[in-house]
Amino acid sequence: MADMDLNDLYSQSWLEGPFGNADATRVNLQEFISVDGVMIAPRLNSNAMAERIIVGRKGSGKTLYLRSIKSEAAKRQFISFEQIDDINTEIVLFAHDFARDYISKSYSGAFDFYIDQRSALSSFWKLLWERAILLSVVSLIYAKKSSDGETENHFPNDAVLSRQQFFARFGDIAKQTENPISPSAWLKEMVSDLSTPSMRRMGSDSVHWEDMQRSIVTSLTKIPPVAIYIDALDDYFEEAPEAWFICQAGLFRAIFQFLYSRTEMGNRLHIVATVRDIVFSSILKTEHGNRFITDEHIKMLDWASPHIRYFLSEKIRKISKKPRMPSIEDWIGLESVYVPSRKRSERVTEYILRHTRMIPRDIVIVGNAIASEIFSRKSLQDKTFSEGALRKQIAVVSCSFANESLRLCANELLMSSEEFVEFFRPPAEHEETGLKISSEEIRGELEKLKVDLRQSLIDRMRHMIKGVNKETFTFDQLKESIIEAKLGHEVDFKEGVNTAFRLDNILWRHGLLAYQARAGTSLKWRFNWRGTLEAESLPTGERMYGFHPCIQELFRLEVTSDGPVY
């Protein structure tokens, strides 16, 4: 079952309004807001054109930033496609299933124990992406027409080999085309060829492919830089988390292969792609992952409270007609809002921000939701925007954020079936008595039951949260509720056990859990908005833990003296 897209999750009036469009593919690039420390418009940032991988959470602005880089490349007259490239889930699933079956059959038997299937699948995708990107570069250089589909392509005149010479030499692996062909189109063709005995287009003759790549590298020094932009859309990712996860990991590896294999190719060939933060986190855990932590070619879109505050103030400034720098309090006409459950008032800015997940998309959605309510009241006799109206809008939007976040957490659990089946195994203590249940048997049982795994996980998470039933709690209370909801076992919390896919750590990485830490003489709530290697696990020895306010709002959790968790 595919996950819901933005239109399913949020009211249409929230997705587009005075604060802009929540869909980054439709945002006017003139509305790009540069935020120091997160993302600066490429026209103002000379380092942007060196970036190859854009990493961030869903809603962090990956697509918009990619579009801005492409726009700047166009001004510099890079050879590129008219549109940013993306591939659909159908292609990803077909290739993923074929590769998994092929690897299982090829390495079945005595060597099966030694094969890391995820690594093998990632290598398969790396090869697919390398071939597709190289064929796409060939088409940009040698197609009869340029990327606009109308004017004649003159780049073959500047290349080392003429069009006729090139295809006489490499025509068995590269096809001559009328127009430039995107990597996704080549992927689709190669995936279709996977079911044929020859699999020739994918290329078993690596020497011939290497020879063609050398020819392309030489030609790249004679023509303007070539750029290809690939957006791994978040909504597609959620349709098949495991397949997309490995597909993106393969793309990441392919891009760095092009970047570092030959200096000339790295400088003249710009392959830029977006990947999810959980994909980058997994790459950092690989044998050579440390080299990517500070790599200048990787752009991390890390949003924290100061960045989001600035983003919000800029949105208000753009829609306000007042000459001085306005605040959101000026815009809606309220300085504070009374919160009945806490029996106290809060500053409007703090009340709004604490219900978001500190990403720009949330600011756009909550701003448009408030604007929608304000505009709707213009037709009423009482045109004032009251505290009650604000509380109502924030509650509805916040609950939508919570529901979306729970789906994202379920997707991370489903991202790897190997880890996911651990939740359906008996505790490890049973193994000590000789009881062993294979993953295949577990999968078979799940298939017989015909359960929707994603919804099943969401239901269990809901049960776990209701089991805690208050916004702040101790780690032991959280652990007890996780085990009671059958989302973990006692052994999962023992020292030395791999905890990457333990629910508390997933909730932590998605910003739904926080812990209370001392800062000087006061206590502050610490969230993790990044989710990469150094912060992937929730600290377990802290005084107090808490759920994000959107979770508190959705489940009507009991408020406590330590709250709100912000």
Asked whether residue 325 carries a pLDDT value surpassing 70, the answer given is no
Neighbours of 297 (CB within 10 A): 16
pLDDT at 348: 95
For the segment 491-496, the average pLDDT, to the nearest whole number, is: 85
pLDDT at 109: 53
pLDDT tens per residue, range 443-491: 444 444 434 678 888 999 999 999 999 999 999 999 999 999 999 889 9
For the segment 266-281, the average pLDDT, to the nearest whole number, is: 89
pLDDT at 100: 79
Residue with tokens 């500047």: 158
In this predicted structure, which of 30-34, 177-181, 280-284, 311-315 has the lowest mean pLDDT? 280-284
pLDDT at 536: 73
Asked whether residue 275 carries a pLDDT value surpassing 60, the answer given is yes
DSSP 375-426: HHGGGSS-----HHHHHHHHHHHHHHHHHHHHHHHHHHHHT-HHHHGGGGSP
Asked whether residue 267 carries a pLDDT value surpassing 50, the answer given is yes
Residue of 311, 361, 354 lying closest to 36 (CA atoms): 311
Return the SS3 of 8.
helix
> Cα–Cα distance between 149 and 155 in angstroms, integer?
14
pLDDT tens per residue, range 426-436: 444 444 444 44
Query: With bands split at pLDDT 50, 70 and 90, how would you rate the model's confidence at 116?
Result: low
The length of the chain, given as a count of residues: 566
Neighbours of 255 (CB within 10 A): 26
Q: What is the mean pLDDT of the chain?
A: 83
pLDDT at 11: 57
Query: With bands split at pLDDT 50, 70 and 90, how would you rate the model's confidence at 156?
Result: confident
Query: With bands split at pLDDT 50, 70 and 90, how would you rate the model's confidence at 297?
Result: very high
pLDDT tens per residue, range 406-432: 998 888 887 644 444 444 444 444 444
Tokens representing 247? 């597909």
| Strand duo 513-519 + 522-526: pairing | antiparallel
Q: Where are the alpha helices (DSSP H) in 415-500?
A: 417-420, 428-432, 439-449, 453-468, 475-484
> Cα–Cα distance between 363 and 352 in angstroms, integer?
9
> Cα–Cα distance between 345 and 336 in angstroms, integer?
6
pLDDT at 178: 92
| β-bridge mates for residue 518, sequence order | 523
| β-bridge mates for residue 337, sequence order | 346
Residue of 291, 236, 227 lying closest to 52 (CA atoms): 227
Q: How far is CA 91 from the centre of its chain?
A: 19
pLDDT at 149: 67
For the segment 494-506, the average pLDDT, to the nearest whole number, is: 83
Residue of 492, 474, 366 lying closest to 426 (CA atoms): 492
* Choice between 169 and 536, residue whose per-residue pLDDT is larger: 169
For the segment 502-525, the average pLDDT, to the nearest whole number, is: 90
In this predicted structure, which of 101-110, 147-156, 322-331, 516-525 has the lowest mean pLDDT? 101-110
Tokens representing 454? 């994603």
What are 198-204's contacts with CB under 8 Å, separation 24+? 200/172, 200/173, 201/131, 201/173, 202/127, 202/128, 202/131, 203/127, 203/131, 203/173
Tokens representing 293? 């932590």
Q: What is the DSSP letter of 278?
A: H
Asked whether residue 108 carries a pLDDT value surpassing 60, the answer given is no
* Choice between 104 and 343, residue whose per-residue pLDDT is larger: 343
Return the SS3 of 473.
strand
Return the SS3 of 142.
helix
> Cα–Cα distance between 469 and 476 in angstroms, integer?
14
pLDDT tens per residue, range 213-258: 999 999 998 899 999 999 977 667 777 777 888 899 999 999 999 9
Asked whether residue 356 carries a pLDDT value surpassing 50, the answer given is yes
Asked whether residue 44 carries a pLDDT value surpassing 50, the answer given is yes
Rg of the chain on CA atoms, in Å: 26
> Cα–Cα distance between 400 and 396 in angstroms, integer?
7
